[in-house]
Structure 1
Amino acid sequence: MTVAVVRFGGSNCDRDAVAALGHLGVDAALVWHEDGLADGAGVADPTDLEGVVLPGGFSYGDYLRAGAIAARAPILEEVRTAAEAGVPVLGVCNGAQIGAESGLVAGAFTTNASARFQCEHVHLRVERADTPWTAAYEPGEVLAVPIAHAEGRFVADEATAERLADEDRVLFRYCDADGSVTDEANPNGSRHNVAGVLGDDDHVAVMMPHPERATLPDVGGTDGQGVLRAFA
């Protein structure tokens, strides 16, 4: 069984994801989007995969909107098929944008309130600890994980925001070091400080911060390991 890390032109966190997964003992394969999910990963069917990662970067140069072109690539149909069959799917940063643009999760990601690229460590509060992505954490636990994005502001209309809240679909929120969700702790202006959301099923998630950059002990801490342990 293999986790497929999907690579588009402009992806730049794909090897990071493979290295982080490998550190946790997870077999991961880089899959060029034109090769198809199953063929690229060497499996008979997308549903044979152990998981799928849509990594960070700048697919197609972020033309139109970040993630918009990649979301319409044929391989996303295979990703949706895998997700519908219960295969864990995680979108990170540009992968989160692709996930939102393709309808894997509700809402969208747009230009930061600062109107600039931001690369820094932030704090995240675990909103739910009963999902594959957060089972290694405690409810309310505060994580230190880096961000690196120019279009990471989560937006949603009122009805969508209410549905996400009612259905407990928010996975992480930006917070301060003490776990308080404040405007000051929100790095990009995301609605309700949302940093990560779940799809209609708990095995599908996207997040703007980079857990793969907080997995290797010698590089950026290890607070992100728990997210990737969903594949272990």
Structure 2
Amino acid sequence: MRVGVVTFPGTLDDVDAQRAVRYADGEAVPLWHGDHDLQGVDAVIVPGGFSYGDYLRAGAIARFAPVMREVVEAANKGMPVLGICNGFQVLTEAHLLPGALTRNHKLHFVCRDQWLRVENTSTAWTTRYDRDAEILVPLKSGEGGYQADDDTLKQLEDEHRVVFRYVGENPNGSRNDIAGITNARGNVVGLMPHPEHAVDALTGPTDDGLGMFLSLLDTVVKA
């Protein structure tokens, strides 16, 4: 399994995402924002950070990077793509996922370990989890409030495309307590919390996030 991990100017969590891929016995392939070639990878992770300094708004410039043209094309053909935190913002800006991420409702950066409920176990990134399992992973974002219009929210709920939902206090004002969603095909997933920081209980609050990368391994092997 070869997984491309994109680095933009301002990306912070690419090394952590690469490490998570290796924990799942995969090969992490670094992809630079200016690349025009995905180097034959089986999947792509768009990691967290502050791509291009979050100028204009988070993810707004990154969506125009040459590598994202390749990611969008590959995702539309079925390649698994995961967007984490800033990566989730990039995927919404690139229209691979609906909605938008806005300033946290209390206007403060949130950094804490966060409980999530897994509500969709049929995506390329969640098959290792049990439905309604609760997992603990770090959350660190200033613009993590998921917003969408009523029709989009109804579609996401009706089609069971909410993948993760916050448990307990809503940390950022996301509508319907949404922490992560998927596209209709189930190959593209975006979430605000950081599973790559929870792949080893020695360095994270748990190893609950590892299931996402092991799920990808299963998806790639079955393909």
TM-score when normalising by structure 1: 0.90
Q: Name the count of aligned residue pairs.
A: 216
Cα distance between partner residues in 1 of 2:201 and 2:66: 36
1:3 matched residue in structure 2: 3
The equivalent of 2:221 in structure 1 is none
Q: Work out which of the residue numbers 186, 189, 193 in structure 1 matches 2:177.
A: 193
8 Å CA contact retained: 1:145, 1:224: yes
Task: Note if 1:108 corresponds to 2:95.
Answer: no
1:215-226 equivalent positions in 2, closer than 5 A: 215-220=199-204, 221-226=206-211
The separation in 1 between residues aligned to 2:56 and 2:131, in whole angstroms, is: 37
Aligned residues with identical type, % of pairs: 44
What is the DSSP-based 3-state SS (H/G/I as helix, E as strand, rest coil) of the residue aligned with 2:96? coil
Aligned amino acid, residue 229 of structure 1: L
CA distance in 1, matches of 2:23, 2:121: 23
Change (3 A) 1:203 1:142: same
Q: Once the 2 structures are TM-superposed, how far is the Cα of residue 99 of structure 1 from its aligned partner?
A: 0.4
Alpha-carbon offset, residue 50 of structure 1: 1.0
Partner of 1:182: none
CA distance in 2, matches of 1:217, 1:125: 19
Deviation at residue 189 of structure 1 after TM alignment: 0.6
Matches within 5 A, 1:1-232: 1-38=1-38, 43=39, 48-176=40-168, 185-220=169-204, 221-232=206-217
Q: Does the 8 Å CA contact 1:49/1:87 hold for their aligned counterparts? A: no
Provide the C-alpha distance between the structure 2 equivalents of 1:161 and 1:12, rounded to a whole number of angstroms: 30
Cα deviation for residue 36 of structure 1 reads 2.5
Question: Are 1:66 and 1:97, in contact at CA under 8 Å, matched by a contact in 2?
Answer: yes
Are the aligned partners of 2:35 and 2:66 in contact in 1 as well (CA < 8 Å)? Answer: no
Q: Pick which of 9-18 and 196-205 moved more.
A: 196-205
Amino acid at match of 1:201: R
Letter in 2 for 1:199: N
2:34 match: secondary structure: helix
How far has the Cα of 1:227 moved from its partner? 1.1
Q: Which residue of 2 aligns with 1:179?
A: none
Q: Which amino acid in structure 2 is aligned with residue 10 of structure 1?
A: G
Deviation at 1:196, TM superposition (A): 0.2
| Distance in 2 between residues matched to 1:50 and 1:160, nearest whole Å | 29
Distance 1:36 1:25 in 2: 26
State the superposition RMSD in angstroms: 1.1
Does structure 1 conserve the Cα–Cα contact (< 8 Å) formed by 2:116 and 2:166? Answer: yes
Offset, 1:218: 1.3
Using the alignment, how far apart are the partners of 2:212 and 2:32 within structure 1? 23
Decide whether the 8 Å contact of 1:6 with 1:33 is kept in 2: yes
